[in-house]
Amino acid sequence: MSEAVNKSLRAAGDRAKGLAAVFQGFKDFISRGNAIELAVGVVIGAAFGSVVTAIQNGLIAPLIAMIFGKPDISSLWVISGRNDAEINVGMILNALLQFLITAAAIYFIIVLPLNKLAERRKKGVEAEPARPSEDILLLQEIRDLLAAQSSTALRADTNQPPAPGTPEAPGSPEARGGSGAHRL
């Protein structure tokens, strides 16, 4: 009976070690800069999408309604054919017009003013933003150093050997079976 219990405990320990390795790999994946940057880009893109929608609904659609009598010209030109087939030229024109007007609105409302501001800053007319404080600079330096270190998951993905001085490197105390208590 005790042999079966010992076998079960060893198997449970092995599963726990495997689970720890999975969680370590997940932690390495999440802490990679590109996953976080991608998430931030998606969130910012979604927020910017609502700005574009507001410009479309609040400015562009009313302009089209003033010109054509309705905010949507997709039913303006429909060509009927055989077997109830319809070629909707108005829908294509509506999509092109919406795109061009939206692109122009984005350019003149957002891009052009930001370019002018950058130009003024370059000439020295507009003051540059204040330099970050020392604690922010220190945090940025720490972030950059951490980003420069290759993680276990990244090395596994690219088949790179561990960097010298890392716990996985040959000759390190951890690789020789040491405790690694000297690490921070």
pLDDT tens profile 127-177: 666 778 888 888 888 888 887 776 666 666 666 666 555 555 555 555 555
List the beta bridge partners of residue 86.
80
Residue 86 has pLDDT above 80, yes or no: yes
Closest CA to 155 of 33, 28, 34: 28
Mean local confidence (pLDDT), 40-44: 81
pLDDT digits (tens, 9 = 90+) for 7-19: 766 766 666 677 7
Mean local confidence (pLDDT), 76-80: 81
Instruction: Give the pLDDT confidence score for residue 141 in this predicted structure.
Output: 86
Instruction: Please provide residue 169's backbone torsions phi and psi, each rounded to the nearest 5 degrees.
Output: -70, 140
Q: State the Cα–Cα distance between residues 42 and 36, nearest whole angstrom.
A: 10
Q: Do residues 72 and 94 touch, judged by C-beta distance below 8 A? A: yes
Question: In this structure, what token pair is assigned to residue 93?
Answer: 């024109």
Tell me the whole-structure pTM to 2 decimals. Answer: 0.38
pLDDT above 90 covers what percent of the chain?
A: 0
Neighbours of 11 (CB within 10 A): 10
Q: Whole-number mean pLDDT of the chain? A: 75
Helices (H) and strands (E) in the chain, counts: 7, 2
Instruction: Give the pLDDT confidence score for residue 83 in this predicted structure.
Output: 85
User: Torsion-angle region of residue 130: left (phi > 0), alpha (psi -120 to 50) or beta?
Assistant: beta
Domain residue limits, the chain: 60-124
Q: Is 162 helix (H, G, I), strand (E, B) or coil?
A: coil
